[in-house]
Structures are given as C-alpha cells and as structure tokens.
Amino acid sequence: MLLNVKQYGDPVLRAVSAPVEHITDDLKNLVENMLETMYATEGIGLAAPQIGLNIRLVVIDIPEDEEEGTEPEMITVNGEQKPMRSIMPLAFINPELEPYGEQYLFTEGCLSVRGIRANVSRPDRVRARLTLLDGSVLELDCGGLLARCLQHECDHLDGFLFVDRVSSAAKITLSKKLKKLAATR
C-alpha cells in the first residue's frame, strides 16, 4: 500500500521521534508499505516521520553503482567486510550513529522537500548500530552513499531536514522556495 509522504511545513517532520519498543507484525507491515512507497517515488531512504509517524524507524535501499568496471562497494558489517548490497534493503529501528572523517559536500534531495536539491556538508564516514526487525543488531562502518543516506535519514528522527544543514548563503537562496512549499503542501 502506498503511503502519503508528508511535505515540508508539516509539523510531524519537525518533532523528535520516540524509540520503537516492540517489534510487532504491524511494524513489519508498515516497513513493507514504506519500502513500496519509497520505490514508487524513486527514493533511496524513507524515515517514519515522513509518513506521519514519530517513531525511530527507517528504511534504506541503495542501488549498486552500475558504472562499468566498478567493483562492488564493500563495507564493514559486524567486523566483517561485506558487499554493501548484501544488507539491502535495510529496515531498522533506534539507530545510533557516529559520523566521522572528513567533511564533504554532496547534493541531497528529500521526498518531503519536493523540487529542491542542495549541497550539504557532512562527515564522509559513519559507524552505526542498527537494530533490525528480527531483533538482531548490525554494527556498520561505512562510507559512500550509505554513510550519507544514514545521516540524512537519522536526521529525520530528530526533526532535522537537509535544508537545515546547507550553507547560510544557500539558506537565503532557498528560503523563498521553502516558504512556497510550506504554503502549498
């Protein structure tokens, strides 16, 4: 079932979400619907506040870089090197993130901020502790798009959007567009 993706200006996107305490069948159904919604809108990540629920739940599915000659991207999963794709799609609750490394600029967009893309500076690596829906825990150490996506999605759980993290000059440029978005959501 496709879910309604909340848009910029909706207060649900600005609240701090509560930890998930029980992994229920309802939660698993919700994850299926979130994935379906994410695929239908061609997103690579979706956080529960974006579909109107202030709980610490995220889904992510990052495609393999299909450029010819590229090696499969490897990440550290519970201390072992594994292909990034081997843990996709990823659904997790109550993430703990520790971004580290060099700051770098990358263009981000968001299913809740339609029509806007902007450069955001974030650390290029992340250590993460994620609880999966079978109750197991994944400890990741990664870079690349997954590190970027984890930071973007986990920001949603604390009421932050990527447009909060752009340069002050970009904020001025975006402010008109954002006001318009909030007025027409």
153: annotated active-site residue: yes
Using rule CB under 5 A, residue 60 touches Ni ion: no
Residue 160: how many CA atoms within 13 Å on its side-chain side? Answer: 11
110 in contact with Ni ion (CB under 5 A): yes
Return the range that interacts with Ni ion (CB under 5 A); candidates 23-31, 59-67, 72-80, 110-118. 110-118
Q: Kindly report the backbone phi and psi dihedral angles of residue 149, in degrees, each rounded to the nearest multiple of 5, phi listed first.
A: -65, -40
Instruction: Give the Cα-Cα-Cα angle 45, 115, 38 (nearest 5 degrees).
Output: 25
Among the candidate windows 57-65, 71-79, 95-103, 109-117, which touches Ni ion by CB under 5 A?
Answer: 109-117
Binding mask 66-105 for Ni ion (x = CB under 5 A): ----------------------------------------
The identity of residue 55, as a single letter, is: I
Alpha-carbon distance 158 to 149, whole Å? Answer: 15
What are the residues binding Ni ion (CB under 5 A)?
110
